[in-house]
Amino acid sequence: MDNFIKITTGWVRQYYEPDKDGAFVCTAQEFKAGDLCECEDDGGNPIDPQVHQYCPYDMVQPGQQLPITKELLAAINVGSSKVKKIEAKAVSPEFRKDSAWLDAIHDVINRTALAIRDEIECIVGR
């Protein structure tokens, strides 16, 4: 397989306020990724999840650039990787490759990093 598509189910909460002409415009939005992810091939056919690097969901507020620096994002990713290595040591080497427990822990770590990033977004965007 040359590539695949990951589809994450989630939701968006959008906030609207009237502009000077009374038309409602989106002033902010919250993006929440759910826990359900599915993978498919280029033809849209379901496939088993593939081993892949975590890719953050870059969601931007209306009219704003993402205010977090690349260095800060890299630091969050490095921190996540360090925690994953620590957690991996808790699993015997012969079970690490196929450990559902370790996969679940890595998912929690990824979601925690995303939550931290979201909180930083809120602080920097003030």
Nearest partner of 31 among 114, 124, 112, judged by Cα: 114
The top-scoring range by mean pLDDT among 44-48, 76-80, 117-121 is 44-48
Contact assessment for residue 41 and residue 4, using Cβ atoms and an 8 Å cutoff = yes
Helix axes 100-124, 70-88, angle to 10 degrees: 150
Asked if pLDDT for residue 64 goes beyond 50, the answer is: yes
Give the pTM: 0.40
Confidence band of 22 (pLDDT split at 50, 70, 90)? very high
Radius of gyration for the alpha carbons in the chain, expressed in angstroms and rounded: 18
Q: What is the pLDDT of residues 66-78, one digit of tens each?
A: 556 777 778 888 8
